[in-house]
């Protein structure tokens, strides 16, 4: 993966222990009391990474697969794209002490509008790019839930790295130790 972006500084949780990742946003933390959350993923994809030994976790909420759409915007906001956001997420975790072989990686989102008929496929192209980047870099997805046309909220507390998805008020576990 490209290593052009400077690694992120670890984020601190707010008073309630939350770190909210907005659209085209990214965060990394080693705060054991923090809970990372990104709300309402549609065609965007949320990626979580977690090293259970180092207790380092991160989350990315990217919008589109490829930064070539606008390299200038990608330089300013790398979390907008899979090919700039994902390398930044992993690199930042490694700099903080996480190790690749221990990493639990999950993903959610990548939904489509109705009757897209292959014209745009924003969600599925996001899914394809995610898998392509992981395959190229020997990273295995521990769990994922993508596709369909629903909204998904992705949550990961750093205390145990459990990854959950919320939709229409219902929560389900995507990955747990």
* Cα separation, 130 vs 68, whole angstroms: 16
Compute the least distance from the CB of residue 73 to another protein, in Å.
5
Q: Tell which one of 36, 41, 155, 174 touches another protein (CB under 8 A).
A: 41
Q: Which of 57, 78, 87, 161 touches another protein (CB under 8 A)?
A: 78
CB of 140 to another protein, least distance (A): 25
Q: Which of 44, 104, 122, 139 is catalytic?
A: 44
Report the candidate in 79, 102, 112 with the shortest Cα–Cα distance to residue 11: 79
- Give me 49's structure tokens: 């990474």
Q: Phi, psi (5° rounding) for residue 132?
A: -65, -45
Task: Provide the β-strand partners of residue 173.
Answer: 164
Within a 10 A sphere around the Cβ of 1, how many other Cβ atoms? 16
Q: Which of 10, 13, 26, 106 binds another protein (CB under 8 A)?
A: 26
Region binding another protein by CB under 8 A among candidate stretches 95-103, 127-135, 136-144, 167-175: 167-175
The three-class DSSP label of residue 174 is: strand
Quick one: 149 or 160, whose CB is closer to another protein?
149
Q: Is 44 noted as a catalytic residue in this protein?
A: yes
How far apart are CB 41 and another protein at their closest, in Å?
7
- Sequence-separated (6 or more) residues with CB below 8 Å from residue 148: 111, 112
Q: Are 49 and 89 in contact (CB under 8 A)?
A: yes
Q: Does 77 bind another protein (CB under 8 A)?
A: yes
Which one, of 89, 110, 111, lies nearest residue 100 by Cα? 89
The answer to whether residue 63 forms part of the interface with another protein (CB under 8 A) is yes
Where do contacts with another protein occur on this chain (CB under 8 A)? Answer: 5, 8, 11, 22-27, 39-44, 61, 63-64, 69-70, 73, 76-80, 85, 88, 111-116, 119-123, 148-151, 167-170
């Amino acid at each position: 993966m490209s290593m052009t972006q400077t690694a992120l500084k670890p984020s601190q949780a707010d008073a309630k222990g939350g770190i909210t990742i907005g659209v085209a946003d990214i965060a990394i933390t080693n705060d054991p009391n923090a809970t990372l959350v990104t709300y309402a993923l549609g065609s965007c994809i949320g990626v979580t990474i977690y090293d259970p030994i180092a207790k380092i976790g991160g989350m990315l909420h990217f919008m589109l697969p490829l930064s070539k759409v606008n390299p200038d915007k990608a330089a300013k906001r790398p979390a907008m794209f899979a090919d700039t956001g994902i390398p930044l997420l992993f690199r930042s975790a490694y700099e903080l002490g996480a190790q690749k072989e221990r990493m639990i990686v999950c993903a959610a989102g990548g939904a489509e509008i109705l009757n897209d008929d292959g014209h745009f496929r924003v969600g599925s192209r996001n899914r394809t790019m995610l898998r392509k980047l992981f395959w190229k870099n020997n990273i295995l997805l521990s769990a994922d839930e993508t596709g369909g046309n629903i909204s998904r909220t992705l949550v990961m507390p750093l205390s145990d790295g459990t990854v959950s998805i919320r939709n229409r008020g219902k929560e389900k576990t995507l990955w747990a130790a």
